[in-house]
């Protein structure tokens, strides 16, 4: 078998559970017998209860566990992994035993706010952290700690639902201090008719930060508050926005981008996704802002711009129509809206400038910013 040819060399393995179970267990047993050589391992649908409870992994640097731990089954300890730095867990369990101080990268697709706070208290040397937060408690019900200082943290991603009184991504920021942060991602998976309080965000970024990358996905806020968030992050060079349904007019943002040298003056890359009525962003204003940012400005110029849009113009005249017919109408409106950019006098000027830009369509679907 090819594993035998590895002899004593470190191993990078990916193992996925398969049927029949008897055959899989024999393969798993072989892999476990080589645990001393594991360097990187990916476990897909492999029950953690099948791993040794007290294993030794002297070479292990990275482990990915894409499985849901059973609440009644034993969880392996990784205290015997002195070099372990990088962990991904589909669903976090507080029963897992680790040397938290040695971790530099941790990502999970399911963790409660309480467990996340506890984890961050112990994993003070994290450099990269991404958490999908689950609202299992109101924040009002938690005894919030003092500031959790993460002096090495450079990349932070928080995602979670937004509902009345529950705002995990922003509320968690109240507890964090991360002076070395370079990249921040906030993804709001669900929202209702109300907007959120952006003060935790403004307070967090008021630290002495040199934030370079900012990704805000479906932030439930107004256009004015969104602009305030961007004003508070002047060092950003790469910006990605997916606009929530709360904002029906994005023209104030493009007005700020055109001619205001003190607004996002370091911006080099801008990725924008939105849906709404044709009035959400005036093509002439968008292109004027681009022309100023890419050609006329005397400071750092925008190098890349992507504009992804879907016109979802639902009005009372369409209420009695079939969804397929409404979709066809909106598809046509989207095509017409995008064509208005390409027929504008500034469009060929921008094409000739060498700036990388694109205008395209999406169908009310967007990648969620989850840990990879």
Instruction: Output the CA torsion 279→283→288→289 (10° steps).
Output: 60
Q: What is the pLDDT of residue 216?
A: 96
CB atoms within 10 A of CB 142: 14
Asked whether residue 72 carries a pLDDT value surpassing 80, the answer given is yes
pLDDT in tens, 110-119: 998 889 999 9
pLDDT bucket at 368, cuts 50 / 70 / 90: very low
Asked whether residue 87 carries a pLDDT value surpassing 80, the answer given is yes
Range among 296-300, 311-315, 340-344 rated most confident: 340-344
pLDDT in tens, 27-47: 888 899 999 999 999 999 998
∠ CA 214-150-157 to the nearest 5 degrees? 30
- Phi, psi at 357, each rounded to 5°: -145, 155
Mean pLDDT along residues 77-102:
95
Mean pLDDT along residues 223-227:
96
pLDDT in tens, 209-219: 999 999 999 99
Q: What is the pLDDT of residue 41?
A: 96
pLDDT, mean over the chain: 86
Q: What does the alpha-carbon distance between residue 234 and residue 263 come to, in Å, rounded to a whole number? A: 7
Q: What is the pLDDT of residue 143?
A: 56
In the three-class reduction of DSSP (H, G, I as helix; E, B as strand; rest coil), residue 237 is classed as coil
Residue 50 in contact with residue 65, Cβ under 8 Å? no
Asked whether residue 122 carries a pLDDT value surpassing 70, the answer given is yes
In the three-class reduction of DSSP (H, G, I as helix; E, B as strand; rest coil), residue 64 is classed as strand
Q: What is the pLDDT of residue 140?
A: 47
| DSSP code for 215 | E
User: Distance of alpha carbon 31 from its chain centroid, rounded?
Assistant: 33
Q: What is the pLDDT of residue 320?
A: 61
Asked whether residue 165 carries a pLDDT value surpassing 70, the answer given is no
Q: Work out the percent of the chain whose per-residue pLDDT is above 90.
A: 54
Mean pLDDT along residues 343-348:
94
pLDDT bucket at 169, cuts 50 / 70 / 90: confident
Asked whether residue 190 carries a pLDDT value surpassing 90, the answer given is no
Asked whether residue 323 carries a pLDDT value surpassing 50, the answer given is yes
Cα distances (angstroms) measured from residue 360 to each of 277, 299, 308: 16, 28, 5
Asked whether residue 369 carries a pLDDT value surpassing 50, the answer given is no
List all residues 6 or more positions away from 248 whose beta carbon is below 8 Å from its beta carbon: 276, 277, 279, 280
pLDDT bucket at 363, cuts 50 / 70 / 90: very low
Asked whether residue 164 carries a pLDDT value surpassing 80, the answer given is no
Q: What does the alpha-carbon distance between residue 109 and residue 98 come to, in Å, rounded to a whole number? A: 18
Asked whether residue 68 carries a pLDDT value surpassing 90, the answer given is no
Asked whether residue 146 carries a pLDDT value surpassing 80, the answer given is no
List all residues 6 or more positions away from 162 whose beta carbon is below 8 Å from its beta carbon: 169, 188, 189, 190, 191, 192, 196, 218, 220
Mean pLDDT along residues 266-291:
92
List all residues 6 or more positions away from 359 whose beta carbon is below 8 Å from its beta carbon: 307, 309, 338, 341, 342
pLDDT in tens, 233-266: 999 999 999 998 889 899 999 999 998 889 999 9
| DSSP code for 280 | G
């Amino acid at each position: 078998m090819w594993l035998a040819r590895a002899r004593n060399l470190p191993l990078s393995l990916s193992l996925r559970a398969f049927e029949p179970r008897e055959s899989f267990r024999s393969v798993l047993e072989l892999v476990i017998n080589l645990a001393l050589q594991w360097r990187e391992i990916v476990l897909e649908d492999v029950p953690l209860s099948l791993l040794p409870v007290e294993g030794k992994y002297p070479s292990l640097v990275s482990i990915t566990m894409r499985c849901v731990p059973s609440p009644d089954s034993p969880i392996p300890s990784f205290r015997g992994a002195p070099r372990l730095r990088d962990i991904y867990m589909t669903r976090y369990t507080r029963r897992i035993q680790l040397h938290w101080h040695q971790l530099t990268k941790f990502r999970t697709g399911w963790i409660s706010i309480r467990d996340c706070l506890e984890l961050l208290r112990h994993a003070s040397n994290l450099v990269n952290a991404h958490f999908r937060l689950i609202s299992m408690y109101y924040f009002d019900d938690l005894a919030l700690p003092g500031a959790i200082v993460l002096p090495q943290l450079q990349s932070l991603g928080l995602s979670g639902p937004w509902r009345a009184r529950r705002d995990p991504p922003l509320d968690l920021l109240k507890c964090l201090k991360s002076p070395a942060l370079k990249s921040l991602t906030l993804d709001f998976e669900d929202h209702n008719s109300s907007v959120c309080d952006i003060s935790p965000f403004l307070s967090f970024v008021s630290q002495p930060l040199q934030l370079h990358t900012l990704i805000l996905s479906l932030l439930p806020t107004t256009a004015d508050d969104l602009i305030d968030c961007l004003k508070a992050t002047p060092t950003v060079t790469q910006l990605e926005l997916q606009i929530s349904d709360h904002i029906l007019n994005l023209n104030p943002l493009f007005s700020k981008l055109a001619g205001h040298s003190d607004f996002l003056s370091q911006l080099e890359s801008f990725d924008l996704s939105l849906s709404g009525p044709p009035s959400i962003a005036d093509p002439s204003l968008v292109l004027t802002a681009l022309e100023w940012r890419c050609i006329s400005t005397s400071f750092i110029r925008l190098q890349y711009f992507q504009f992804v849009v879907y016109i979802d113009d639902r009005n009372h005249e369409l209420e009695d129509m079939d969804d397929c017919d409404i979709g066809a109408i909106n598809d046509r409106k989207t095509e017409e809206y995008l064509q208005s950019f390409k027929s504008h006098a500034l469009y060929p000027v921008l094409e000739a400038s060498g700036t990388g830009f694109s205008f395209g369509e999406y169908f009310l679907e967007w990648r969620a910013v989850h840990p990879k």
